[in-house]
Amino acid sequence: MKYLLFLLLFLLILGVVGVASNPSPGFAALSLVMVAGSGCSLLAGQGGYFLALILFLIYLGGMLVVFAYSVAFTGSDYVEGWGTRRISLAAAGYLLLVWGGGVILSTNLNEEFWTVGASFGEFMSLEYSLVGVAHLYMGGGWLLVAGAWALLLVLLTVLELVRGASRGAVRVV
């Protein structure tokens, strides 16, 4: 178990360094997948399985995919990654920064426990996020409708803004 935890934390830090040091958005998105994967596994191991699931679905499976498609339009011929000396030096610098920060912050450790769930009402020992979403759908009422209206509005706004053929702002289309 210790080895699994170590591997996940290692991948997390490596991924964060990758996101920070890669100028190409494609490589940065790939690093982001690594970060999200290891971070969500850590979260799920601590009991926050719902949040990890939602993150995978919506963040990686929705937002990151759309970002990757948009980025694919901006493909360039000479993509720099960790292979070039400049970027690998930057990545090493970031790793050093994280290590230094860890050294400084680790001298002041008090044992703090954090909870991801509790028992209350008819929900026994479930994660807070899960219970929160359940409450929104149960007793949300008109607020749920307003939230759904907000999502619909954002969709309509984006559609109206990028509508082409002289009815929108993207005139080249």
Q: Which residues bind another protein (CB under 8 A)?
A: 143, 146-147, 149-150, 153-154, 156-157, 160-161, 166-169, 171
Name the nearest CA neighbour of 57 among 72, 74, 40.
Answer: 40
Q: Least distance (Å) from another protein to the CB of residue 45?
A: 24
CA distance 20 to 128: 31
Q: Residue-wise over 36-59: b if at least 16 C-beta within 10 A, else e?
A: bbbbbbbbbeebbbbbbeebbeee
Q: Least distance (Å) from another protein to the CB of residue 26?
A: 25
Q: Least distance (Å) from another protein to the CB of residue 123?
A: 20
Task: Give residue 31's Cα distance to chain centre.
Answer: 11
CA distance 25 to 75: 9
Give, in order, the Cα–Cα distances in Å from 11 to each of 15, 25, 149, 171. Answer: 6, 19, 39, 44
Q: Least distance (Å) from another protein to the CB of residue 149?
A: 7
Residue number with CB closer to another protein (66 or 153) = 153
Residue number with CB closer to another protein (72 or 162) = 162
Residue number with CB closer to another protein (89 or 161) = 161
Residue number with CB closer to another protein (107 or 166) = 166
Name the nearest CA neighbour of 64 among 41, 22, 33.
Answer: 33
Q: Least distance (Å) from another protein to the CB of residue 28?
A: 21
Residue number with CB closer to another protein (86 or 163) = 163
CA distance 86 to 26: 18
